[in-house]
Structure 1
Amino acid sequence: MVIIMLGDVVGQSGCEAVRALLPGLRRDYRADAVIVNGENSAQGNGILPSSARHLFDSGANVITTGNHVFRRREIYDLLEAEEGIIRPANFSPECPGTGVFRLDLLRRSIAVVNLMGTAGMEPLANPFDTADRILKTLDTPFVVLDFHAETTSEKRAMGFYLDGRVSVVAGTHTHVQTADEQILPGGTAYLTDLGMCGPVHSVLGVKPEQVIARFRNAMPTRFENPAGGPQYVCGLAVTLDDRTGRAAAVERISRFVEPR
């Protein structure tokens, strides 16, 4: 089984990059499933029903999110109704949506789990304890985790904590792809951060001058995506053993949209 995971999709340009490249990626890797982090897929930030539908129509099977998932109220009803969009499971159970989705694929199923780190982030329920609780409820060896976290140390710790118990631990949130893809000793595929899908000449998907201004004067700034320029899609392709669910191969993905 081959699973593709794509990093944070940023704004309209990120959605368009996914639309341009994902069909080809699915063909090239013969992917059985695609998981995309869409928490910033709306213009500005957050996720809207329109941006979620764009990602599904582009070939995503499951959309994960993170700390911006509740930024747009328009998505609340869809989080409750559309099981293919999940939010971090360690948010309060009173929040809209759920943190686990079971994707059925003919002879097998994949459990996709979304968790959020707490180091430098919101004080949510402990993600390690939440992972333990969720794993007790799952009956498939194919378990994929999007761990939306700020620090590399917390992500690395989660990878080793779940090594041998899940198929993949991939980090999101920082929008910069790391170069530490590996198969951990217990057979879990790992990458600290998948990177992002969107404008190359940006600061995490935002116009550089706006971010520079924020750092220089600390004044509130409305962030926008750069107009035009090259776009890319970043993520990970993982090949899993069809019997055990353990990783057999991992490969980072970083592809540019060809200019028209």
Structure 2
Amino acid sequence: MKLLFLGDLLGRAGRDAAIKAIPELREKLKLDFVAVNAENASHGFGLGPDMADALFKAGADVITLGNHAWDRREIIPYIAQEKRLIRPLNYPPGTPGQGSALVTLADGRKVLVAQAMGRLFMDPLNCPFMTMDELLTRHRLGNSLHAIILDIHAEASSEKMAFGHAFDGRVSAVVGTHTHIPTADHQIFPRGTAYCTDLGMCGDYDSVIGMSKDAAVARFIRKMPGERLTPAEGQATVCGAFIETGEDGLATRIEPVRLGGRLRATLPEV
């Protein structure tokens, strides 16, 4: 199976670039499945229902969120109805929406996507390791489940890597989101799980993690509140990872995907 996971969409630049790129990448990479993190798609903070609809229409199969899940309040009734939009699994019981999505493809194959949020330098949610372990006792790679992808939305690279090793051999891939900077550690762990610490963002890299650089730099220098951070609006780079799995659902390949904008382009050969 050939899968693509795109990192955090940042503002209009990242959103528009991803919507344009998804159909092209589905064709070029012969993709079976596409997931996207879109928690920053609405002016850098949250996701609007119309934006989610546009991403699904473009060809996204699942959308994940993160710590900005609730910044657009109108997403709350939407996520209660749309099962392909997920928020972190380790939010407390009773939180709207769900932390995983099981998608059946046109050919009958099934893909599970789940997201957890880290706790280092983040909100003190339920334990991401224990919560995800409980989910995976109910969903296992095998004849009826062809791929499992975990999105670990976390600040600390150590926590992300520990999360990847904790589930090595039980899932197809563990990919990190949230920090908006693509890491170069794409690898397959010893038991067959593909891993990358951070997919990077889909957004303008002439910025500070996607936000206009002058206001962001001023905040660091002056240590005082300033103008509201707004997304950079230059040409965006689409960033993510291409993952290929074997018959057992474990990974045989993971490679970076970068398209457009300031970063050096790279696309896997298929």
- Taking structure 1 as the reference length, what is the TM-score of the superposition? 0.95
Of 46-55 and 217-226, more deviation after overlay is shown by 217-226
Aligned residue in 2 for 1:135: 136
Residue 109 of structure 2 is matched in structure 1 by: 108
**3-state SS in 2 of match to 1:34:** strand
Q: How far off is 1:50 after superposition?
A: 1.7
User: Counterpart in 1 of 2:268?
Assistant: none
**1:47 match:** 47
Residue segments in structure 1 that go unaligned for 5+ positions in a row: none
- 2:35 is paired with a residue whose SS is strand
Quote the Cα distance in structure 1 between the aligned partners of 2:260 and 2:131. Answer: 36
1:252 maps onto 2:252 in alignment: no
Q: How does 1:135-174 map to 2 (within 5 A)?
A: 135-139=136-140, 140-174=145-179
1:141 Cα deviation after fit = 4.7
Does 2:97 align with 1:97? yes
Tell me the residue number matched to 1:222: 228
Do 2:13 and 2:235's aligned partners in 1 also have CA atoms closer than 8 Å? Answer: no
Are 2:204 and 1:203 equivalent residues in the alignment?
Answer: no
Give, in whole Å, the separation in 1 of the partners of 2:19 and 2:12. 10
Say if 1:141 and 1:166, in contact at 8 Å, map to a contact too: no
| Identical-pair percentage | 43
- Distance in 2 separating the partners of 1:20 and 1:172: 21
Cα pair 2:11 2:203 within 8 Å, conserved? yes
The whole-number CA distance in structure 2 between the counterparts of 1:128 and 1:44 is 28
Deviation sequence 1:205-250 (CA, Å, 0-9, x none): 10001111111223334111123x3211000000011x21000111
Question: Residues 97, 30 of structure 1: CA spacing in aligned structure 2 closer, same or farther, 3 A cutoff?
Answer: same
Query: Which range moved further: 231-240 or 249-258?
Result: 249-258
SS of residue in 2 equivalent to 1:9? coil
Aligned residue for 1:231, secondary structure, equals: coil
Deviations 1:164-207 (A, max 9, x none): 01100000000000000001000000000000001121111100
Aligned to 1:118: 119
Question: Following the alignment from structure 1 to structure 2, what is the Cα–Cα distance between the partners of residues 17 and 54?
Answer: 12
Matched position secondary structure for 1:83? coil
Q: CA deviation at 1:56?
A: 1.3
Which runs of at least 4 in structure 1 moved beyond 4 Å after TM superposition? none
Q: Which residue of 2 aligns with 1:30?
A: 30
* Amino acid corresponding to residue 59 of structure 1 in structure 2: G
How far 1:20 sits from its partner (Å)?
2.1
Partner of 2:184: 179
Where 1:96 maps in the other structure, the secondary structure is: coil
d(CA) in 2 for partners of 1:257, 1:20: 13
* Cα deviation code 1:40-61 (max 9, x no counterpart): 0101411111221221122211
Q: What stretches of structure 2 of length at least 5 have no aligned partner?
A: 263-270
Which amino acid counterpart does residue 25 of structure 1 have in structure 2?
A: L
Q: TM-score, normalised by structure 2?
A: 0.92
Deviation at 1:71, TM superposition (A): 1.3
Corresponding residue of 1:59: 59
Counterpart-to-counterpart distance in 2, 1:70 and 1:218: 27
